[in-house]
């Protein structure tokens, strides 16, 4: 098998209780991760679409990538999950999610590139993978446990008498590792449409609702441990690339620019531990930095108190907004993870019901009857109650467990509240990540796809860097004109067009052909490098960085050096972007079979009707000059956006009438059988 790949993918049918393998080689052209998963999904069920996410035919596909388990900075520890996602609205689109930790590394060390799970069991089960030995185990005693209890119990069953720091006998070999487990908690068991999958203490595949898909299959967990290794094509080139990469790393003992250490700069300074926002105020809780396998950024924290460990980003932002002590907030993150609730959707639930309560529409005996202590909103008693009711589908939690758009629809409020912006679900029922009227590469790419894209490659340098530095009364470390020049020079194959980064409403801005190229680049890059090779979105692409001597980042050189060193291929960045384009078109074809049409690709009404109020820094080009603007008062123009969509479809080789990929486009990408099916 080609270096970087284990060579086989595990296939489990929970209805038939059968276990078989798929050769990875058959799908290697898709690179790994999401690309391979989409190709397998297509082969298994495309001819049966549409059906819904809880149909036993929905395969849930968990994939590693070629760099998983290899010492590639922020490239060896992510794992990709896909299938039909019950969170999507109004259609449960084929979608994806991603989590960090050590699961994908263990999968590779056990000799597998991925796991495809089909069918549904009648009784609760978990899957036990120890190298080549795979069994489907009884999970009756695990059903009802939270994700931490579940993992502790499975770890005991896989390696009884395991002691940390000592060698344990495993499958005729020895290990110091505990198994890596991916599981769901009560929310998944109760098929809460935004239930997550959790690995370890705080790594979660949140968006999409794959915890609920596990629940629908009566699958509690997948556990894996291996004692093998990953074959590297060119170890010398890998070590050289790794040493070269040191120039982009934060050195905690001798930071290049101590000014950049401000806690508010955590999203773009690449200092370790920056992903946990509950532990930022003095006095800090002692912590050590924690990382997914191989990551040098180590954005997580392991806290001395042992609560809230490894939660990062959305999980801690959610908790930081709650009332109570730091301990209360850390407990809230653990509760969220324990139930397996999506940290991005749950805060939206809380703020929406609170807004309805304040308007007198929701509460005990109100039009929307509610059995929650709404007068305590934000306090521990409130958030503990709401999480429990949603996870267990008790009382009002039963409606809320179907997700925000479906709850609003059941209450007859969807149209009104998405028009006013009270309910900010701009695309496919997912809550707004960044303002859809402003961070438009994000919102456009999401609307043309399936879920909140959650790709920070542009957002970190063009928004957070200037925004945070200006707020701190510092000059951005690159001025707007230099920044757009540098970033655009790295955007192969469209390099050299700085107007791709113009967020003005002018002729080169958000409705222009330049924005078409940026969104296409973003989707193709993410499809290959983030979702399939599994570089981490919190680190890659890295265009600019305060940590290198010239403040330039490793993109596009880094991605190619690591990929080629591990796989032995001699690909260029443009070659790999072309595979991303192929995967993006394959996904598009799946959505077409689910009913996608350009008429559906419209934002919620508030995006077009309600002007933004808060300042939001982005680069704009106006009157012949680049500057960072705060862009207050922005709405999207419906007609101009429709014209922009036409330009985008034509650029991608899709039919502008319906948004479907044209036969010629698919055939030129080697997707003739996809074209034949469409
Ligand atoms: S940046 Fe954070 S989430 Fe990403 S791989 Fe590193 S430790 Fe994991």
Chain-centre distance of CA 198, in angstroms? 13
> So what's the pLDDT on residue 171?
84
Using the mean position of ligand 1's atoms as its centre, give its distance from the Cα of residue 329 in Å.
Answer: 22
| Dist. CA 271 → ligand 1 center (Å) | 11
Centre of ligand 1 to C-alpha 450, Å, is 23
Q: Domain 8-225, what architecture?
A: 4-Layer Sandwich (3.60)
The span from the CA of 519 to the CA of 277, in Å, is 30
What ranges in 395-479 are assigned the alpha helix state H? 397-400, 404-410, 414-420, 440-447, 465-471
Q: Is the pLDDT of residue 258 over 80?
A: no
DSSP state of 143: T
Average pLDDT value for the chain: 95
Per-residue pLDDT at 240 exceeds 90: yes
Mean pLDDT of 538-559: 95
Most confident region among 300-304, 321-325, 578-582 by mean pLDDT: 578-582
- Report the DSSP pairing between strands 625-629 and 618-622: antiparallel
Rounded Cα gap, residues 198 and 315, in angstroms:
12
Residue 264 predicted with pLDDT over 80: no
pLDDT digits (tens, 9 = 90+) for 446-484: 999 999 999 999 999 999 999 999 999 999 999 999 999
pLDDT (tens digit per residue) in 171-208: 888 999 999 999 999 999 999 999 999 999 989 999 99
Q: Which one, of 73, 76, 77, 74, lies nearest residue 246 by Cα?
A: 73
Task: Give the tens place of pLDDT for each residue, 120-173.
Answer: 999 999 999 999 999 999 999 999 999 999 999 999 999 998 888 899 999 888
pLDDT band at 370 (very low <50, low <70, confident <90, very high): very high
Tell me the per-residue pLDDT of 509-519, one tens digit each, with 9 for 90 and over.
999 999 999 99
Tens-place pLDDT, residues 15-56: 999 999 999 999 999 999 999 999 999 999 999 999 999 999
Confidence of residue 591 (pLDDT cuts 50, 70, 90): very high
Query: What is the Cα–Cα distance from 406 to 404, expressed in whole angstroms?
Result: 6
Atom of ligand 1 nearest to the CA of 295: 6
Helix boundaries (H) for 159-293: 186-189, 210-216, 235-245
pLDDT of 317 higher than 90: no
| Confidence grade of residue 270 (pLDDT, cut at 50, 70, 90) | confident
* pLDDT tens-digit series, residues 620-656: 999 999 999 999 999 999 999 999 999 999 999 999 9
State in Å: Cα 338 to ligand 1 middle: 21
User: Of all atoms in ligand 1, which is nearest to the CA of residue 299?
Assistant: 2
Q: Are 455 and 435 in contact (CB under 8 A)?
A: no
Ligand 1: residue of 69, 77, 97, 314 to mutate (most ligand atoms within 8 A of CB) is 77
**Ligand 1 site, CB within 6 A:** 74, 77, 100, 275, 291-292, 295, 297-300, 536, 538-539
Q: What is the mean pLDDT of residues 265-289?
A: 83
* In the chain, domain spans: 8-225, 443-534+579-677
| CA triple 613-615-616, angle to 5 deg | 120
pLDDT of residue 311: 81
Distance 299 CA to ligand 1 centre (A): 6
Nearest to 596 by CA among 49, 59, 61, 81: 49
With a cut of 80, say whether residue 118 has pLDDT above it.
Answer: yes
| Nearest ligand 1 atom, CA 296 | 6
Q: Looking at ligand 1, which residue's alpha carbon is closest to its atom 5?
A: 74
Ligand 1 centre to CA of 536 (Å) is 6
CB-based contacts of 657, cutoff 8 Å, min separation 6: 598
Q: What is the pLDDT of residue 279?
A: 83
């Amino acid at each position: 098998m080609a270096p970087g790949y284990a060579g086989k993918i595990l296939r489990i049918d929970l209805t038939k209780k059968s276990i078989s393998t798929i050769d990875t080689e058959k799908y290697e052209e898709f690179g790994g991760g999401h690309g391979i998963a989409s190709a397998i999904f297509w082969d298994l069920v495309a001819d049966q679409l549409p059906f819904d996410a809880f149909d036993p035919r929905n395969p849930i596909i968990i994939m590693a990538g070629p760099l998983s388990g290899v010492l590639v900075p922020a490239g060896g520890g992510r794992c990709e999950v896909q299938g039909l996602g019950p969170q999507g609205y109004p259609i449960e689109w084929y979608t994806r999610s991603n989590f960090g930790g050590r699961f994908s590394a263990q999968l590779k060390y056990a000799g597998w590139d991925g796991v495809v799970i089909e069918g549904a069991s009648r009784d609760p089960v978990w899957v036990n993978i120890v190298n080549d030995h795979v069994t489907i185990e009884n999970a009756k005693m695990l059903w009802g446990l939270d994700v931490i209890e579940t993992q502790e119990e499975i770890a005991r069953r896989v390696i009884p008498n395991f002691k940390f720091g000592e060698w344990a006998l495993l499958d005729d070999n020895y290990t110091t590792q505990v198994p890596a487990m991916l599981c769901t908690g009560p929310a998944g068991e109760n098929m809460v449409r935004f239930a997550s999958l959790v690995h370890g203490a705080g790594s979660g595949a949140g968006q999409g609702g794959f915890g609920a898909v596990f629940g629908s299959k009566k699958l509690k967990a997948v556990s894996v441990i291996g004692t093998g290794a990953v074959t590297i094509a060119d170890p010398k080139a890998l070590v050289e690339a790794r040493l070269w990469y040191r120039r982009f790393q934060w050195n905690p003992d001798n930071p290049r620019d101590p000014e950049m250490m401000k806690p508010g700069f955590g999203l773009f300074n690449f200092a370790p531990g920056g992903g946990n926002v509950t532990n930022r105020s003095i006095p800090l809780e002692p912590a050590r930095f924690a990382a997914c396998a191989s990551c040098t950024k180590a954005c997580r924290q392991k806290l001395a108190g042992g609560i809230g460990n490894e939660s990062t980003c959305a999980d801690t932002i959610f908790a930081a907004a709650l009332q109570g002590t730091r301990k209360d907030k850390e407990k809230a993150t653990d509760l969220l993870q324990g139930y397996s609730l999506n940290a991005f959707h749950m805060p939206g639930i809380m703020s929406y019901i609170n807004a309805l309560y304040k308007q007198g529409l929701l509460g005990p005996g109100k039009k929307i009857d509610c059995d929650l202590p709404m007068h305590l909103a934000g306090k521990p008693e409130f958030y503990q109650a709401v999480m429990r009711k949603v996870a267990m589908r008790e009382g009002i939690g039963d409606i809320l467990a179907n997700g925000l758009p479906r709850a609003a629809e059941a209450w007859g409020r969807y149209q009104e509240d998405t028009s006013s912006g009270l309910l900010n679900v701009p695309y496919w029922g997912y809550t707004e990540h960044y303002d859809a009227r402003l961070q438009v590469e994000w919102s456009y790419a999401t609307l043309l796809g399936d879920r909140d894209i959650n790709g920070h490659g542009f957002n970190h340098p063009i928004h957070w860097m200037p925004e945070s530095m200006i707020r701190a009364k510092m000059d951005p470390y690159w001025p707007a004109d230099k920044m757009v020049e540098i970033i655009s020079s790295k955007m192969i194959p469209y390099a050299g067009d700085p107007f791709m980064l113009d967020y003005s409403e002018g002729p080169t801005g958000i409705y222009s052909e330049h924005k078409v190229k940026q969104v296409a680049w973003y989707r193709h890059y993410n499809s290959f490098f983030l979702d399939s090779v599994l570089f981490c979105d919190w680190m890659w692409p890295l265009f600019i960085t305060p940590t290198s001597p010239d403040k330039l980042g490793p993109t596009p050189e880094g991605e190619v050096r690591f990929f080629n060193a591990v796989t032995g291929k001699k690909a260029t960045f443009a070659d790999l972007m072309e595979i991303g384009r192929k995967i993006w078109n394959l996904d598009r074809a799946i959505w077409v079979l689910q009913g996608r049409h350009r008429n559906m690709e419209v934002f919620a009404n508030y995006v077009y009707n309600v002007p933004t109020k808060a300042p939001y820094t982005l680069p704009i080009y106006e009157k012949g000059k680049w500057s960072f603007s705060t862009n207050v008062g922005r709405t999207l123009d419906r007609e101009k956006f429709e014209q922009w969509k036409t330009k985008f479809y034509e650029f991608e080789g899709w039919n502008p009438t319906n948004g479907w990929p044209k036969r010629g486009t698919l055939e030129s990408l080697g997707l003739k059988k996809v074209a034949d099916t469409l």
